[in-house]
Chain A
Amino acid sequence: MSIRVSNLTIDLPLIDVSANSLRRKIINLAVGGKFMKKQSGDLIIRAIDNVSFEVDDGERVGVVGHNGAGKTTLLRAVAGVFEPRAGKVIIDGKITALFGAGIGLDPEATGLENIVLMAAYLGMHIKTTDPIVEDIIDFCDLNDYIELPVKVYSTGMLGRLAFAVATSFKPDVLILDEWLGAGDQAFITKANNRVTNFVNNAKVVLLASHATNIIEQMTSRVLWLDRGKVKFFGDTKEWKQLHDEHLSTNA
């Protein structure tokens, strides 16, 4: 199980509203394209700029950086959501990514129905009566709430449900983006145990977070991004030192 990212570059196109319209396109055609081209709004942001790193068997890597540093973009590229402008992402193993709480949740459906739905998105076809559903309900500790529509859940509860489903099918590579913030400490401990278990089975975890304590607790190495480039990649303890120095110099 591993993640290999080499010379990855991701561009995000920015479309301004006026360029969205067909009218603009038609006018462009009519005037031959040259004149309006500057206003066509085809700006891009280079969100990830020539990034390379490797994550091997049993490693937990934290991705850190300022808002807009490219954390989520990098995770999305690793998860196959964004296609690289240049470079390569090679994943060895079955990958599951969790961005925020609740991929494909149907707010009107019950927690139970949503477990089946989310599992289907992850490629697992289960029934509400399968034993794995029991495990998921146990883990996320939602008790009777599981029979209620998820629109009445709190953000933390949604996060717990999504995490429980995503990790129950034992992916080889797990991508987590900023979702633990909504969980309480008891759940974070529980989640941490599960993730540790994962890694003991030679699985790989890539986790983005702003919370220094979560990064410290849950990761062994840190990838520090700054404006789409790697600022630092190494031991979590080493990163913590750098990070503290960085904070004190900025303060």
Chain B
Amino acid sequence: MAVFDISESFARLNLWWMLGFNDLKARYRGSVLGPIWITIALGVTVGGIAVLYSGLLHTKIDTFAPYIAISLTIWALIQTSLVEASSVFVVAANVIKQTALPKSGHVLRLVFRNLLIFAHNFVIVVFVMVLFKVKVSLFSLLAIPGFLLLLFNLTWMSLIISSLSSRYKDVPQIVLNAMTFITIMTPVYWQPNMIPGREWVLHVNPFYYLLEIVRKPILGELVDIQIWLVVLVMSAIGSILSLSLFAQMRGKIVHWI
């Protein structure tokens, strides 16, 4: 039944896409610049951090600025998806209590919405990369399968968080606090080679792999086979874990929200 729910969701991809699009439209309704604000916000942050941190960390701005631009763009996608996942079913309560539409579709809507925001942010990445003449290579194409794997992992994580959150009202708080901690521990604002002797901090962090599998190829670097393997294993374990949890909770979600 859980598998049926998910396949039904995929059969209605354009509904979830439209709803995700509408969410974004609703957020910026009445604003003059609209979703361009997303791009502006990231642009300002990247500019500030690039100037400040390249001084603080003694790195060159022409390598650090593109690095921070792509890091923040990917991290915004990860963080926002997972934090917002805790309210997916609660926000959609009205629809869930009135229709037989598959529940997992609401998770797709969340992923699509954040994908659209990612697209707005990516404008800054391209701009900064052109500005600092970052060399792209054929390896950069590997960013595409890497990105698809990242989306897949975010989807199963969101499915778990959204299901648990509808039952246990402490989960949204846990996710919020965990994401703050993970943001500090993951090389988003700093670079992996800055912690010699403490690499284990990276190796035990699943988000390190998810970040690197997209970030490295975009910057024209080769991704270690080890990173690919870890992400593939995470995808496999995550699908099984999320499916079995969703199978147990799916039918009851409507009563909990």
Contact = CB atoms under 8 A, between A and B. Distances in A.
Contacts of A104: 94-95, 98
A80 B167 CA distance: 21
B170 A23 contact: yes
A82 B97 CA distance: 8
A79 B99 contact: yes
A193 B10 CA distance: 37
Interface in B153-206: 167-171, 174
B22 A81 contact: no
Nearest to A102: B94
B98 A120 contact: no
B169 A21 contact: yes
Contacts of B227: none
Contacts of B256: 13, 15
B157 to A, nearest CB: 18
Interface string B78-102: 0000000000000000111111110
A103 B100 CA distance: 12
A247 interface: no
Interface string A174-205: 00000000000000000000000000000000
Interface in B97-113: 97-101
Nearest to B1: A83
Contact of B100 (A12, A13, A81, A100): A81
Interface stretch (B12-20, B132-140, B213-221): B12-20
B26 interface: yes
A88 interface: no
A138 interface: no
Interface string B13-54: 011001100100010010000000000000000000000000
Nearest to B30: A108
Contacts of A141: none
Given A81-B254, A99-B98, A121-B99, A20 B29 contact: no
B249 to A, nearest CB: 12
B97 A99 contact: yes
Nearest to B173: A22
Nearest to A107: B26
B252 interface: yes
Interface in A61-100: 76, 79-83, 95, 97-100
Contacts of A108: 26, 29
B58 interface: no
A230 interface: no
A81 B96 contact: yes
Nearest to B100: A80
Contacts of A99: 97-98
Interface string A111-140: 000000100110101000000000000000
Given A106-B22, A121-B15, A25 B96 contact: no
B19 A120 contact: yes
Nearest to B169: A20
Nearest to A106: B26
B55 interface: no
B110 to A, nearest CB: 15
A100 B97 CA distance: 11
Interface in B210-257: 251-252, 254-256
A109 interface: yes
Contacts of B14: 125
A125 B19 CA distance: 12
Interface of B: 12, 14-15, 18-19, 22, 26, 29, 94-101, 167-171, 174, 251-252, 254-256
Interface of A: 12-13, 15, 20-23, 25, 76, 79-83, 95, 97-100, 103-104, 106, 108-109, 117, 120-121, 123, 125
Given A81-B96, A81-B100, A97-B99, 9 more contacts: A21-B168, A21-B169, A22-B170, A80-B99, A80-B100, A81-B97, A82-B254, A95-B100, A117-B18
27 contacts: A15-B256, A20-B167, A20-B168, A21-B169, A22-B170, A22-B171, A22-B174, A25-B168, A79-B98, A80-B99, A80-B100, A81-B97, A81-B98, A81-B99, A82-B254, A82-B255, A83-B251, A98-B98, A100-B98, A103-B94, A104-B94, A106-B22, A108-B26, A109-B26, A117-B22, A120-B15, A120-B18
Q: Which A-B residue pairs are the 7 nearest by beta carbons?
A: A80-B100, A22-B170, A83-B251, A103-B98, A99-B98, A22-B168, A104-B95
